[in-house]
């Protein structure tokens, strides 16, 4: 029985998909990477913003076509969209045979069995705070890096966000469980751990009565085989001196932090339900740069939040210019039902949101390109991810020859830049090398291998 998975949305969702892959494989099913060969297709969905919902729905409809054009016997929808809109999915997409919520992944094999017997199967736990058992994962990221989910849910309740309603309150995983999984990943060849959660910086507060991310990091650094540890989703108000100190003292921890700030105007930050002011953000960013001079900071912003004025927008642009983030992404505000922000007056028209998004991204591009130029001459450690195919050389502005592609400590997978190393030497994927930057090409770098 062949099972095909589609994982949409964030890297936290990908971890859930990998858990389900592990469950169905242990149950005896075969995993296929060919949709047309699938007896069962599972779509793990996202519903964070409208674009994510549209992508999820379009993917479900696309996969449903294999009931007509392939050998597909069942289509199962899992994840956030399933948790939030289970009845709508069943009512409006007749091709769907099973719906599995965010706390019922452990029942995915039994759902497949029920669907194969011709039954519609719905597994939704209305208590999104309930916990499920730990299962072995199948790493799908190529083997050299892996996401490590250290907590689930969120207590922040930002006014624009639906996540607490589909993922529940903040729940840290016990440290021994996280460390056990990290060791298993290392034993299977993973060299870079990327810590993820709705909010990594609060890790341990619920079960150990104190923020314990720094303690977890020290234990993770002891694991043989792990060479890089990267931290994503750090809320600025929760960054502690202990976290900064462990980043400074442990060589395995990348000098990289992903810190979503969402805005820089105090008026809008308050409406968003954020816990920081512009002054507090400025103080924290300056402190990080002072304590860790080579740190690479990534952030995200939202344009067009209800009530955002042109003055608020200009304030954000001035802040972005002043802070000089190495990496930055911008989303247009998405009006999500059942959130306080959706009911706020002065909703912004889409063309205005998009215009403001474009302006910030154009500003950020010039900042990022300038920072890339500043890296010329630097000697950097690079994780090689593979060799650039000949047919892709032109796409990446490379002339010809043996070109390897990799990432530095400044680059998280799939969201940041790459570093290209033309060389006649043979380098294995997953190998770390030293290289000197010779050229900057926008967000990407070109480097020469150090012999």
Answer for the pair 193, 178: CB distance below 8 angstroms, yes or no: no
Q: Is 221 annotated as a binding residue?
A: no
Read off the pLDDT of each residue in 252-272 and give the average, rounded to a whole number: 97
Identify which of 388, 283, 293, 369 has the alpha carbon closest to the alpha carbon of residue 328: 369
Distance CA 16, CA 149 (A): 9
Q: Is 234 annotated as a binding residue?
A: no
103-140 burial code (b ≥16 CB/10 A, e <16) = bbbbbbbbbbebbeeeeebbbbbeebeeeeeeeebbbb
User: What is the number of other CB atoms lying within 10 angstroms of the CB of residue 310?
Assistant: 9
State the chain's maximal CA–CA distance in angstroms: 63
pLDDT tens-place string over residues 212-232: 999 999 999 999 999 999 999
Q: Which domains does the chain have, with CATH numbers?
A: 2-123 (3.40.50.12160), 145-374 (3.80.30.20), 377-449 (2.40.50.140)
Look at residue 267 in the predicted model and tell me its pLDDT: 97
Look at residue 395 in the predicted model and tell me its pLDDT: 73
- List, as one string, the DSSP characters of 150-168: -EE--S---TT--HHHHH-
The separation between the first and the last C-alpha atoms of the chain, rounded to the nearest angstrom, is: 49
Q: Answer whether residue 52 shows pLDDT above 60.
A: yes
Look at residue 133 in the predicted model and tell me its pLDDT: 61
pLDDT tens-place string over residues 137-182: 888 887 799 999 999 999 999 999 999 988 989 999 999 999 999 9
Look at residue 259 in the predicted model and tell me its pLDDT: 97
Torsion angle, CA of 396/397/402/404, rounded to 10 degrees?
-40
Pairing of strands 2-7, 30-31: parallel
Read off the pLDDT of each residue in 45-58 and give the average, rounded to a whole number: 88
pLDDT tens-place string over residues 317-370: 999 999 999 999 999 999 999 999 999 999 999 999 999 999 999 999 999 999
Identify which of 154, 85, 77 has the alpha carbon closest to the alpha carbon of residue 338: 85
What pTM was computed for the model?
Answer: 0.93
Please state, rounded to an integer, the average pLDDT across all residues of the chain.
93
Answer for the pair 346, 173: CB distance below 8 angstroms, yes or no: no
């Amino acid at each position: 029985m062949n099972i095909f998975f589609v994982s949409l949305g964030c890297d936290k969702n990908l971890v859930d998909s990998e858990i389900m892959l592990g469950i169905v494989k242990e149950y005896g099913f075969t995993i296929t990477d060919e949709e047309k060969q699938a007896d069962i297709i599972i779509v793990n969905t996202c519903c964070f913003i409208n674009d994510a919902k549209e992508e999820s729905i379009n993917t479900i409809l696309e996969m449903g076509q294999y009931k007509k054009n392939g050998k597909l016997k069942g289509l199962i929808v899992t994840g956030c969209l399933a948790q939030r809109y289970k009845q709508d999915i069943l009512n409006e997409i007749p091709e769907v045979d099973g719906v599995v919520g965010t706390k019922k992944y452990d029942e995915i094999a039994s759902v497949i069995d029920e669907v194969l017997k011709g039954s519609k199967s719905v597994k939704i736990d209305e208590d999104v705070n309930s916990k499920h058992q730990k299962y072995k994962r199948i790493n799908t990221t190529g083997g050299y890096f892996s996401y490590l989910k250290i907590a689930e849910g969120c207590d922040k309740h930002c006014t624009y966000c639906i996540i607490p309603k589909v993922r529940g309150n903040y729940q840290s995983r016990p440290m021994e469980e996280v460390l056990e999984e990290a060791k298993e990943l290392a034993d299977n060849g993973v060299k870079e751990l990327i810590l993820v959660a709705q909010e990594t910086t609060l890790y341990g507060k619920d079960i150990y009565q104190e923020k314990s991310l720094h303690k977890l990091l020290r234990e993770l650094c002891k694991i043989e085989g792990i060479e890089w540890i990267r931290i994503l989703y750090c809320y600025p108000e929760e960054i502690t001196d202990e976290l900064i100190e462990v980043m400074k003292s442990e060589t395995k921890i990348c000098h990289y932090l992903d810190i979503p700030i969402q805005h820089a105007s105090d008026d809008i930050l308050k409406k968003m339900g954020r816990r920081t002011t512009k002054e507090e953000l400025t103080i924290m960013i300056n402190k990080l740069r002072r304590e860790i001079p080579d740190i690479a900071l990534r952030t995200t912003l939202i344009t067009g939040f209800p009530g955002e004025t042109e003055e608020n927008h200009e304030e954000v642009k001035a802040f972005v210019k002043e802070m000089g983030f190495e990496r930055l992404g911008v989303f247009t505000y998405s009006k999500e039902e059942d959130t306080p922000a959706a009911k706020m007056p002065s909703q912004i028209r889409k063309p205005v949101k998009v215009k403001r998004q474009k302006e910030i991204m154009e500003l950020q591009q010039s900042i990022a390109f300038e920072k890339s130029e500043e890296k010329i001459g630097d000697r950097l450690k690079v994780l090689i991810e593979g060799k650039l195919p000949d047919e892709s050389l032109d796409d990446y502005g490379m002339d010809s020859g043996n070109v390897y592609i990799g990432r530095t400590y400044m680059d998280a997978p799939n969201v940041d830049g790459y570093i290209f190393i033309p060389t006649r030497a043979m380098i294995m994927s997953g190998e770390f090398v030293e290289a000197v930057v010779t050229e900057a090409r926008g967000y990407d770098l070109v480097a020469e291998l150090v012999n």
